[in-house]
């Protein structure tokens, strides 16, 4: 941490860079950027920039119109975009956002405090939930109720409304290279190996404005499944993660109608009877495809 930022920290003021990786985000970007600009006071911001992955719409123009500079992704995809951003960060702490996450009112007043709350905190974030009219809305609130049972401490840790210790992130080699999804999962474990923690404020709830309809929503879960074998392969040398077998994934799918019934009762949301089994199916199909292309 630089002396300048030590002084800022001691005085209760912290300068941060704001970064975002984008691709064809014009539908949500205007409201998302206006929200960030209104939530985070100017006196705390060093610079704001997006790393664009070759958008064909008005993403770049919108960013510039809202006071954000634009860099070109030096590679392709989120991993490369995030590392391009990290390379250009100047401050000891920086914030990353995704183009479709509308920040909660209390994000700035709650989340940065976590990363300054104790030593060796590498990252801090809040939660984000889908709109209530989304058929998959109740999945994440249900997971929140069971976070201490199901998720090995990893629930809620995402890249899209997060403040980072630049030094800690660079010390582990930056953002892991993942082709589809799961960067956050790998980071969580890599931080743990180095003695860092990643904190979540479960009372900060931003809005995840997924676009593209129900099929696009299910496709997200396909990519999660597709990424699992790749994640397991990267973690193979560390005794920190259990490799889930194809039979276990299939069993989860086979039991999903029963699970969805229990979830629907718990959350009082009958849509789960429809959405959860399909989610498990797409997850399974992605996992099968990922396994066939990954040598575990």
124-182: pLDDT as tens digits: 999 999 888 888 888 888 888 877 655 555 778 999 999 999 999 999 999 998 887 78
Contact 196, 122 (CB under 8 A): yes
Does pLDDT of 242 surpass 80? no
Tell me what pLDDT residue 69 has.
98
Superfamily name with CATH number, domain 3-211: Spore Coat Polysaccharide Biosynthesis Protein SpsA; Chain A (3.90.550.10)
Cross-strand pairs, 164: 94, 123
Q: How many CB atoms lie under 10 A from the CB of residue 118?
A: 9
Note the pTM of the prediction, 2 decimals. Answer: 0.88
Q: Which helix (H) or strand (E) holds 106?
A: none
Residues 6+ apart with CB under 8 A from 195: 120
Tell me what pLDDT residue 44 has.
95
Tell me what pLDDT residue 150 has.
57
2 — pLDDT class (breaks 50, 70, 90): very low
**46-56 confidence digits (pLDDT tens):** 999 999 999 99
Tell me what pLDDT residue 294 has.
61
Q: How far is CA 75 from the centre of its chain?
A: 19
* Share above pLDDT 70 across residues of the chain, in percent, rounded to a whole number: 89
More confident residue, 196 or 143: 196
Angstrom distance (rounded) from CA 30 to CA 56: 16
Angstrom distance (rounded) from CA 229 to CA 291: 6
Contact 264, 292 (CB under 8 A): no
Strands of 3-86 (E only): list them. 16-22, 45-52, 69-72
Contact 128, 207 (CB under 8 A): yes
For the chain, give the mean pLDDT.
87
Spans of all domains in the chain? 3-211, 215-293
Contact 279, 272 (CB under 8 A): no
């Amino acid at each position: 941490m630089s002396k300048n930022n030590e002084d800022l920290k001691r005085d209760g003021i912290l300068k941060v860079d704001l970064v975002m990786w984008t691709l064809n985000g014009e539908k949500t970007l205007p409201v998302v950027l206006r929200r960030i600009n209104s939530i985070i006071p100017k006196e705390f911001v060093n610079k704001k920039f997006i790393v664009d992955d070759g958008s064909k719409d008005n993403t770049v123009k919108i960013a510039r119109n809202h006071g954000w500079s634009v860099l070109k992704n030096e590679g392709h995809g989120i991993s490369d975009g995030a590392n391009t951003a990290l390379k250009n960060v100047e401050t000891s702490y920086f914030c990353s956002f995704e183009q479709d996450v509308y920040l909660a009112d209390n994000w700035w007043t709650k989340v940065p405090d976590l990363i300054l709350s104790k030593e060796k905190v590498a990252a801090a974030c809040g939660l984000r939930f889908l709109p209530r009219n989304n058929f998959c809305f109740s999945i994440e609130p249900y997971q929140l109720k069971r976070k201490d049972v199901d998720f090995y401490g990893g629930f809620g840790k995402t890249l899209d409304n997060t403040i980072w210790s630049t030094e800690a992130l660079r010390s582990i080699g930056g953002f892991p290279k993942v082709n589809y999804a799961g960067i956050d999962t790998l980071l969580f474990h890599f931080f743990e190996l180095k003695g860092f923690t990643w904190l979540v404020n479960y009372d900060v709830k931003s809005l995840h404005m997924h676009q593209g309809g129900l099929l696009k929503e299910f496709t997200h879960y396909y990519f999660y499944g597709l990424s699992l074998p790749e994640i397991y392969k990267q973690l193979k040398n560390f005794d920190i993660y259990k490799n889930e077998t194809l039979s276990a994934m299939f069993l989860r799918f086979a039991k999903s109608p029963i699970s969805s019934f229990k979830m629907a009762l718990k959350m009082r949301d009958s849509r789960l009877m429809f959405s959860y089994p399909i989610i498990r199916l797409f997850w399974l199909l992605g996992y099968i495809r990922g396994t066939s292309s990954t040598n575990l």
